[in-house]
Structure 1
Amino acid sequence: MVKLKQQLSFAFIISILFAVGFGFVSYAVSEKKVTNFDQTIISGVQGAESPALTHVMKFFTFIGNGYCVVFVSAIVLFFLYQVLHHRKELILFIAVVVGSAVLNETLKLIFHRARPTLHRIVVANGFSFPSGHSMSAFSLYGIVAFLLWRHTSTPLGRGILIMLSMIMILTIGVSRIYLGVHYPSDVVGGFLASGCWLCASIWFYQRYQEKKYEEQLKRNT
């Protein structure tokens, strides 16, 4: 019970920090105070351009698109439902992934930021801030890491899980900058917005677990 309360506090605090961070970045984007930051990062990332790296970045952008997110989500849902038989975790997973997509579309409509136009390697439509690929990657691999962490007992397994999740999230985000379809501030904003939604969802889920635990204690006394 004490551990659950600690997890609740941690998820709530991290969610607030992500929200504050997103507020700061969105303000800077709205006031056009991120130009130097964006240009510096874009120069560094696109300065490493090569045919081989372009293929790699196109691959990571591909696996970060909507179709691949749906495919990976279907596999995770099947695993949660058929293998682990965790119905509540299944609901949490759906809420995080679908909610992140809805939140992204809402934020894009609010900020109406145009995409970069210089040195665009692939075609992309719609508004730029925050990055949809970055938000979906953070939500998908973040919630997968959270759920699998709960069923992984060894430090090595947990370490590998976190490392792989971070690699997927960061590489998908960087690929959008490399390919010229997002500003770095779009990617950072996407990570922060999705991180806030992810942690808030986990907080609600853990709060629900706490209430169920308290109800069970009452019934047993």
Structure 2
Amino acid sequence: MRQQVRTAPAALPAVLRAPLAMMAALATAVLVALGILHFHDSGLTGLDAAVLPSIDGVRPPWRYVALVFDFGGEPLGSTILVAVIAAVCFLVHRIRAAVVTVLGVVVTVAVTTVLKPIVGRTIHGEFLSYPSGHTAMATALALVIALVLADRLGLGRAAAVVVVLGLALVAGVAMGWAEVALGAHYPTDAVGGFCAALAVVPATAWLVDRVAARL
């Protein structure tokens, strides 16, 4: 097993190391900046004031769509998704990617969980909201899938960046929309969750590669 991990394809393709490192740094800066901006402040300003009224309280059938997305971020739904994606990665001999699927989601959600009481932003008066763990989880899974696709397709740097950020953005927007539509988060909470995943997953993949190379 140790030999399989050491010789397995990299979790973070070489062509993406530099661009994702820069994007992770930018995402971290945005995550922190939004946290400072909304520190113990639950008022509607800027992006939240512009977007929230048009999305919050969506009606059927779109509400049902939002609930399906939301289930994917709940403990049961996320466990199923992580297990399925990790299993697929393992079956196609992407052992490092399978590890990142689990570890990346766990660390990403842990970061959002720790940040919520620190920032202290609430919605509906009592629920901690920044950053969105659901959005972070969805984005993290999309990033793992995108990293595998970019490597298997042998994409160059520019195309790989487009694929990775494109899939991450689609997943983040979809889950972020669902959370805002269901009244669980502000739009900037979703942005924070997206940035949390973008900061954590590439770093986790890089760390897994480093550890695997030393086995």
Superposition TM-score, scaled by structure 1 size: 0.76
Gaps of 5+ in 2: 1-12
Aligned length: 199
Instruction: Tell me, yes or no, if the aligned pair for 1:34 and 1:185 is still in contact at 8 Å.
Output: no
Distance 1:184 1:160 in 2: 24
Task: Decide which of 69, 74, 80 is 1:71's aligned counterpart.
Answer: 80
Distance 1:149 1:55, change over 3 A: same
Distance 2:129 2:143 in 1: 22
Aligned-residue CA RMSD (Å): 3.1
Task: Decide which of 80, 97, 108 is 1:100's aligned counterpart.
Answer: 108
- Between the two proteins, what is the percent identity of the paired residues? 21
Distance 2:201 2:94 in 1: 19
Instruction: Tell me, yes or no, if the aligned pair for 1:15 and 1:197 is still in contact at 8 Å.
Output: yes
Q: Residues 157-194 of structure 1, C-alpha deviation per residue, up to 9 Å, x if partnerless?
A: x8888756543331111111111111111111111112
Gaps of 5+ in 1: 118-124, 213-221
Superposition TM-score, scaled by structure 2 size: 0.78
Q: Where does 1:60-209 land on structure 2 (aligned, <5 Å)?
A: 60-81=69-90, 83-116=91-124, 126-153=127-154, 166-207=169-210
Task: Decide which of 30, 33, 37 is 1:24's aligned counterpart.
Answer: 33
Instruction: Tell me, yes or no, if the aligned pair for 2:135 and 2:176 is still in contact at 8 Å.
Output: yes
Task: Decide which of 52, 69, 72 is 2:61's aligned counterpart.
Answer: 52
Q: Residues 49-97 of structure 1, C-alpha deviation per residue, up to 9 Å, x if partnerless?
A: 332121221222122322111101111222222x222322222222201
**Equivalent position of 2:51 in the other structure:** 41
Distance 1:92 1:13 in 2: 20
Task: Decide which of 19, 24, 30 is 1:10's aligned counterpart.
Answer: 19
4+ residue runs of structure 1 moved beyond 6 angstroms? 158-162
Q: What amino acid is aligned across from residue 193 of structure 2 in structure 1?
A: G
Larger Rg belongs to: 1
